[in-house]
Amino acid sequence: MSIKILLINPNMYKYPPVLPIGLEYIKESLINSNYDVDILDLTFSDDPFLDIKETLKKTKFDLIGFSIRNIDSCIYFNNQYFLPDFKKIIDFLKEFKIPIIIGGSGFSASPEEIFNYLKPDYGIIGPAEKAFLDFLDLWKNNCVDIKIINGWKYGIDSDLVPIRSTNLDYARYLKSDGLIGFTTHVGCSNHCPYCIEANKKVDFRKIQSIIREINSLSSYGYNHYHLSDSEFNQDLEFCKKFCRELAKINSNLKWTLYMKPNPYDEELFQLLRKSNAYLITLSVDSYDKIQKKNNYSYDNLENIIEYCKKYNIELAIDLLTGYPYESVESTKTVIQFFKDNRPKSVGISFYYRLFNNTELFQLIKKDLNLKKKLTRPLSDDDDCLNPIFFHQYTKDEIQELIQGDTLFKIAGLTLGVNYQLK
């Protein structure tokens, strides 16, 4: 008899609602290995407890997979902390005496800490298409000897072509301003000291697999996408090849993506335009030490702004400023730079969300003066799950530096992401 697995998406945050594509990818991988898999999507649920109860009454499941995409909304203003609600759901699930395995990008940001807080049976860090299969082989034979499995060691299945939109109410997401995601790779080679995704091995999907996935979605009439890579441009040649192939699919298709300031060249922007990329969100740090770590400077930013203008692609900057030991002069310089060069918008974040295991957290722990600039007291054994931020500036100080220039928007004051904040 085949093992029956229920994958639950408990993410009810809706600014915007996000399709649980990670669960669609896992489902495809498990189905290909003859497991029986259902997805319970709670995004639009009025009563998640009732929906879970009904689902578990109808069918007998052997294992529950619980996805944790976000710990919190990560931005200081209007911050929302999701883990306490997830804990209530996990505690409720435990009453059904079915083993629970957790995973997802939120879980992967702080795995030990979240595992200790939620107390599931197992967890998988990072990509799970392959790791989950290996886990199941061991689990079936009662041979699992570790609680938290590292999916980064397994990587992704580059041939996987998920057949999507069969289990989820895509129309409802689209009506509520959600977009359809797809990935080209996992990982990020940059070294941003505050980021939970830094220094993660980059593992590419085969371009023909990605194109087949998009072709299939496009055949259902879905033509508007948000890339779900951390940053698109890990490898310039891969990016160009992908854009060339994407441009062949369908002229109604359009997409938006995240990029970092390096690598790039003019041809990349030409090809992005050709494939109907209409909006790039570019992650930028003002601190020169972080720029250097990641191999870019203001010259590169100037080029990117120029190419976006030339090829008619909107450019939204996600700017971080006020890193520990960064001077006010440095913040003034970045603001003046964007005032002069004028991309479409600049979202400014000056509160850094702390996560255990990051370089930033280690730095702050060592310096009493930095600890004074946190949004709540830091205890000796703090796991940082309960949101905590480092900041050098107040909102008023940043507003004074911006001087009413509407190019700049303070992140979090209005809920939503760049493609929504027109």
CB atoms inside a 10 Å sphere around CB 91: 11
Please report whether residue 26 would count as binding ligand B12 according to CB under 6 A.
Answer: yes
For 100-138, the DSSP string reads: EEEESHHHHHSHHHHHHHH--SEEEES--TTHHHHHHHH
Q: Give min distance, CB of 330 to ligand SF4, in A.
A: 18
Please report whether residue 326 would count as binding ligand B12 according to CB under 6 A.
Answer: no
For 248-270, the DSSP string reads: TT-TT-EEEEEE-SSS--HHHHH
Distance CA 396, CA 24 (A): 44
For 356-422, the DSSP string reads: TTSHHHHHHHH-HHHHTTBSSPPPTT--S-S--EEES--HHHHHHHHTT-TTEEETTSS-S-TTT--
Task: Mark 15-34 with x for binding to ligand SF4 (rule: CB under 6 A) and - for no binding.
Answer: --------------------
Q: Give min distance, CB of 258 to ligand SF4, in A.
A: 7
Q: Considering the complex, state which of residue 30 and residue 301 has its C-beta at the smaller distance from ligand B12.
A: 30
For 244, the token pair is 């060339």
Distance CA 332, CA 352 (A): 18
Residue 231: which of ligand B12, ligand SF4, none does it interact with, CB under 5 to 8 A by kind? Answer: ligand SF4
Please report whether residue 326 would count as binding ligand SF4 according to CB under 6 A.
Answer: no
Please report whether residue 291 would count as binding ligand SF4 according to CB under 6 A.
Answer: no
Which residues share a beta bridge with 148?
Answer: 123
The single residue among 38, 72, 121, 197 that binds ligand SF4, judged by CB under 6 A, is 197
Interface region with ligand B12, contact rule CB under 6 A, candidates 127-135, 164-172, 265-273, 368-376: 127-135
Residue 330: which of ligand B12, ligand SF4, none does it interact with, CB under 5 to 8 A by kind? Answer: none
Tell the burial category of 361 from Cβ atoms under 10 Å away from its Cβ (0-12, 13-18, 19+): buried
For 63, the token pair is 């294992």
Distance CA 418, CA 135 (A): 37
Please report whether residue 384 would count as binding ligand SF4 according to CB under 6 A.
Answer: no
Q: Is 72 left (phi over 0), alpha (psi -120 to 50) or beta?
A: beta
Q: Give min distance, CB of 111 to ligand B12, in A.
A: 11
Tell the burial category of 356 from Cβ atoms under 10 Å away from its Cβ (0-12, 13-18, 19+): middle
Number of residues this chain uses to bind ligand B12 (CB under 6 A): 45
Distance CA 313, CA 256 (A): 10
Residue 283: which of ligand B12, ligand SF4, none does it interact with, CB under 5 to 8 A by kind? Answer: ligand SF4
Q: Considering the complex, state which of residue 157 and residue 326 has its C-beta at the smaller distance from ligand B12.
A: 157
Q: Considering the complex, state which of residue 67 and residue 331 has its C-beta at the smaller distance from ligand B12.
A: 67
Residue 23: which of ligand B12, ligand SF4, none does it interact with, CB under 5 to 8 A by kind? Answer: ligand B12
Tell the burial category of 288 from Cβ atoms under 10 Å away from its Cβ (0-12, 13-18, 19+): middle
Q: Number of helices (H) and strands (E) in the chain: give both, helices first.
A: 16, 17
Distance CA 12, CA 41 (A): 9
Please report whether residue 129 would count as binding ligand SF4 according to CB under 6 A.
Answer: no
Cα 254 vs. chain centroid, distance in angstroms?
Answer: 20
Q: Considering the complex, state which of residue 140 and residue 310 has its C-beta at the smaller distance from ligand B12.
A: 140
Interface region with ligand SF4, contact rule CB under 6 A, candidates 82-90, 98-106, 185-193, 327-335: 185-193
Helix (H, G, I), strand (E, B) or coil at 242: helix
Residue 114: which of ligand B12, ligand SF4, none does it interact with, CB under 5 to 8 A by kind? Answer: none
Residue 22: which of ligand B12, ligand SF4, none does it interact with, CB under 5 to 8 A by kind? Answer: ligand B12
How far CA 337 is from CA of 243, 340, 342, in Å, comes to 30, 5, 8
Task: Give, as ranges, the residues between 35 and 74 that touch ligand B12 (CB under 6 A).
Answer: 65-67, 69-74
The single residue among 283, 330, 331, 349 that binds ligand SF4, judged by CB under 6 A, is 283
Please report whether residue 286 would count as binding ligand SF4 according to CB under 6 A.
Answer: no
Please report whether residue 230 would count as binding ligand SF4 according to CB under 6 A.
Answer: yes
For 358, the token pair is 């990051």
Task: Mark 248-277 with x for binding to ligand SF4 (rule: CB under 6 A) and - for no binding.
Answer: ------------x-----------------
Closest CA to 211 of 185, 248, 179, 164: 248
Please report whether residue 234 would count as binding ligand B12 according to CB under 6 A.
Answer: no
The single residue among 188, 271, 280, 402 that binds ligand SF4, judged by CB under 6 A, is 188
- List residues near ligand B12 by CB under 6 A: 11, 13, 15-19, 21-23, 25-26, 65-67, 69-75, 101-106, 108-109, 124, 127-129, 132, 179, 181, 183, 195-197, 226, 228, 230, 417
Residues of the shown chain interacting with ligand SF4 in the complex, contacts defined by CB under 6 A: 188, 190, 192, 195, 197-198, 230-231, 260, 283
